[in-house]
Amino acid sequence: MRKKILQIAVTAGIGLLSVACSRLDMQDQPKYKPQRPSDFFADGRSERPPVPGTVARGALDVDEAYYTAKGADGKDIDYFPIAVDRDLLLRGQQRFDIYCSPCHGRIGNGMGMIVRRGFKQPPSYHTDRLRNAPVGHFFDVMTNGYGAMLNYAAQVSVRDRWAIAAYIRALQYAENANVNDLPAEARNQIPPPGREITPDSVYEPLAPPDPDFNNFPNVPATPAGVPGVHGAGAAPSNQPERQ
């Protein structure tokens, strides 16, 4: 009998409780929303920073050479940490044309369109210094920036940075290639030269003359009177600058 009374009392108690706290469900979970403050921890944040040395899943970048282009001695490496093939070069060409050519020019001579409009002229890739620079230097410049050049770490993935570095090597080679570098059969296919190959023409592209570049960069390439142009290429104007 006593057992029965107890049973009824417990059942009634649970029933009452569930009526009183009708919102004790998922809607009222005790939880913090992201970035909410809390007075529970001394620093006032409800979120705990990760323990030092925490590595996110899939982000264990142990391959130093691949991710930083530095060797054990902390210097730029002079080899490619990934296989370089035609596909990688084509990818590098595409990425270079998108991200680098506006300043460095399609052939890397430092005369991109932005430079023609007055931006600081980068050095040509076809100088002895950059031709002899370890390939890790190009990766490093893209990753960390260099002087007036901002870095491209956010826009260009690690693998694409290597692809661009490989393509820059190809550009350098193309601008400095000698006809004797070609295999004999390929050499035989070259039409009789209409123009003698002199030391100068080995270094300079045989592009058609561009009147924009007469006396460049002493005379900026921006044609006089282009509206809205600022910087070195801006034509002196007596009109107030447009905002």
Which of 45, 131 has the CB closer to ligand HEC?
131
DSSP characters over the chain: -HHHHHHHHHHHHHHHHHHHTTT-SGGG---PPTT-B-SSSTTSBSSPPPPTT---TT-----HHHHH-B-TTSSBPSS-SS---HHHHHHHHHHHHHHTHHHH-TTSSS--HHHHTTSPPPPPTTSHHHHSS-HHHHHHHHHH-BTTBPP-TTTS-HHHHHHHHHHHHHHHHHHT--GGGS-HHHHHTSPPPSS---HHHHHS--PPP-GGGTTTTTS-SSPTT-TT--GGGPPP-SSPPP-
Binding of ligand HEC at residue 100 (CB under 6 A)? yes
Question: 108-147 mask for ligand HEC (x: CB under 6 A)?
Answer: ------x----xx-xx--------------x--xx---xx
In contact, 159 and 87? CB cutoff 8 Å: no
Binding of ligand HEC by 71 (CB under 6 A): no
By the rule CB under 6 A, 92 interacts with ligand HEC: no
Q: Which two tokens stand for residue 10?
A: 């417990």
| Residue 104 in contact with ligand HEC, rule: CB under 6 A | yes
**Among the listed residues 69, 75, 117, the one whose alpha carbon sits nearest the alpha carbon of residue 224:** 117
User: Is residue 103 at the binding interface for ligand HEC, with CB under 6 A as the rule?
Assistant: yes
C-beta of 103 vs 221, nearer to ligand HEC: 103
Q: Which window, 34-42, 101-109, 188-196, 198-206, contacts ligand HEC (CB under 6 A)?
A: 101-109
| Smallest separation, CB 82 to ligand HEC (Å) | 16
Under rule CB under 6 A, residue 99 binds ligand HEC: yes
Task: Name the residue nearer to ligand HEC (CB basis): 69 or 100.
Answer: 100
Shortest Cβ 61–ligand HEC spacing (Å) = 20
Cβ 116 to ligand HEC shortest distance, Å: 12
Among 66, 70, 82, 102, binds ligand HEC (CB under 6 A): 102
Q: Which residues bind ligand HEC (CB under 6 A)?
A: 99-100, 102-104, 114, 119-120, 122-123, 138, 141-142, 146-149, 152, 156, 164
